[in-house]
Amino acid sequence: MNEDGSSCLLLPGKTLFIASLLYLCLGCAAFFFREVFIIWILTGAALVPFVIIDFTLLYLLGDRLQIKREIPSSLAQGENVQVRLIMYPTERPMLPSSIKLYDLYPETMNTGIFPAKISFLKNERKSFKEKETMNKKSAVFEYSLFPADRGPWFFSGTELLLGSLLRFWQLRVTHENISRGRTYPNFKQLARGTELKGKPEKGEIRQIRKRGQGLEFENLRDYQEGDSIRLIDWRATSRNRQMDGSLKLIVKNYKEEQDQQILFIIDSGYRLPDYQFDSALEAMLLLSYIALKHGDSVAAASFGAFDLWIPPRKGMKAYNGLMNGLYNLHSEPVPSSPFHALENALNRLHRRSLIILISNFREEDDTTLGYILPRIERRHLLLLVSFRESEAERLAFPSTQPETRTDDEVLETAAAFAYLKKRRRLYTKWEHSGLLVMEASPQNISTSLINKYLSLKKSGRL
């Protein structure tokens, strides 16, 4: 280990390996022929000085390079990022004859240039041009990385493979070129100002027409075609008589109620596989962004593998706190209890809130949740969000003809159909009792959840 934190390891080069192999073959021939023995001795005597001199030059030149990495500390999941490695020599200008560079990038990222299987120790590799490139002040190496997973990341260093003049030796030098940062869910659409409109059946966000009840009064305005008759303010209309004696209709204009509270509770246990959990987390963060822009306060919690509680806050500054608190959250195959999650939420909430609980609810949840749902209904509005079981739906409604299926396939179809029927019966029972239940696919959960929130907010039920 050197003073600058770098470590070195001497390795034989390709030329030394070939020369040793040829010298071994010559030694085998010298065993049988006396004339060849003298050639073998002279060749060895001539070869050793070159090997020693080549080693000495490489050792003296050594590591005379410094490396700097440039990469943003905050990355978006699924978005390629360019990494720049700037390599420049120290004050001593002499450099090795060849240099190869290996960047030790994290396992949570994939390289966008070479497959990881041909990279040295899962590292990016690229050879610099030889002396004519290094005569410049610095050399820049750029490559792309694909952040595949959310969470913190760490570059452990950078490796250099320095070649000697005659290629007899190689010196592997590891620089502690450390970089740290975080990979967040990808929300570029938020920065572009995504419009809240579209067709919900196509997974788009729709506008919900105001009903004029349960909303805060904003001002009076003239009647426009399409306004509800219930919005007409007859007292103001009677005072607004025109020159010809007719009345000009005046309606009450309402705005959405502000300073409401939303609590997201996400299941980080076995009920939500990774792909469903990632979709649910993205939907939570996207709806949190929209709710904060509407003036509401947002809180978040998780149960199962991770017990997390982020207290309610309002204002767009709270969004950074949510991102930093949730970006590293993952699901694991451990038991989880929606009952205990709701019980903990009731102990922490001090005002009426919209509680959005995201999990995969099954028939056994009817008994456990039955004890706590009446308590929640008295003080809060609960929305239970579950994912559609695409695999069960595929088995329950196969595309093949019945006469072509085997007995095992028929049994699978019957079991899948019975499972889906029990789930639907449970959700229908909860809906009849006044609960809000939503079932969505991972692809459409974000838009479905946002549409539900806008519908509840504009209807005045919060």
Amino acid (one-letter) located at 254: Y
Question: By residue range, what is the domain housing residue 303?
Answer: 258-459
- Could you tell me if residue 245 is inside a domain? yes
Pair of tokens at residue 65: 């390079």
Do 293 and 325 sit in the same domain of this protein? yes
- Could you tell me if residue 205 is inside a domain? no
Amino acid (one-letter) located at 51: V
Q: Residue 70 — φ and ψ, nearest 5°?
A: -120, 115
pLDDT of residue 453: 92
Do 302 and 227 sit in the same domain of this protein? no
pLDDT of residue 124: 42
What are the tens digits of pLDDT across the range 141-191?
888 999 988 899 999 899 888 888 888 888 888 888 899 999 998 766 544
- Could you tell me if residue 201 is inside a domain? no
What are the tens digits of pLDDT across the range 80-133?
999 988 887 776 556 677 888 889 999 889 885 443 332 333 344 444 433 334
Instruction: Name the domain boundary from 230, 255, 280.
Output: 255
Cα distance between residue 156 and residue 337, in whole Å: 39
pLDDT of residue 194: 45
Mean pLDDT of 314-334: 91
Do 311 and 353 sit in the same domain of this protein? yes
Q: Is the pLDDT of residue 256 over 80?
A: no
Q: Residue 415 — φ and ψ, nearest 5°?
A: -65, -45
Neighbours of 378 (CB within 10 A): 7
Do 5 and 147 sit in the same domain of this protein? yes
CATH number of the domain at 80, please: 2.60.40.10
- Could you tell me if residue 195 is inside a domain? no
Do 124 and 230 sit in the same domain of this protein? no
Do 225 and 293 sit in the same domain of this protein? no
Closest alpha carbon to 385 in 412, 404, 357: 357
pLDDT of residue 416: 83
- Could you tell me if residue 189 is inside a domain? no
DSSP 433: T
Mean pLDDT of 450-460: 84
Instruction: Name the domain boundary from 184, 204, 226.
Output: 184
Pair of tokens at residue 200: 């919900």
Do 178 and 267 sit in the same domain of this protein? no
Of the CA atoms within 13 Å of residue 432, those in its CB half-sphere come to 6
> pTM, whole model, 2 decimals?
0.70
- Could you tell me if residue 208 is inside a domain? no
Closest alpha carbon to 455 in 145, 201, 211: 211
Do 176 and 95 sit in the same domain of this protein? yes
- Could you tell me if residue 228 is inside a domain? yes
CATH number of the domain at 318, please: 3.40.50.410
Do 251 and 291 sit in the same domain of this protein? no
Contacts 24+ apart (CB under 8 A), 194-199: 196/290, 196/450, 196/454, 198/447
The SS3 assignment for 432 reads: helix
Closest alpha carbon to 43 in 23, 24, 25: 23
pLDDT of residue 396: 77
* Number of domains the chain is built from: 3
Mean pLDDT of 391-396: 77
Do 251 and 347 sit in the same domain of this protein? no
What are the tens digits of pLDDT across the range 359-372?
999 888 888 888 88
Instruction: Name the domain boundary from 184, 201, 226.
Output: 184
Q: Which percentage of the chain shows pLDDT scores above 70? A: 79
Q: Is the pLDDT of residue 205 over 50?
A: no
Do 224 and 332 sit in the same domain of this protein? no
The SS3 assignment for 162 reads: strand
**Mean residue pLDDT across the chain:** 79
Do 300 and 449 sit in the same domain of this protein? yes
Q: Is the pLDDT of residue 415 over 90?
A: no
What are the tens digits of pLDDT across the range 395-407?
777 776 666 777 7
pLDDT of residue 14: 85
Give the confidence band of 245 by pLDDT, cuts at 50, 70, 90: low
Give the confidence band of 375 by pLDDT, cuts at 50, 70, 90: confident
- Could you tell me if residue 203 is inside a domain? no
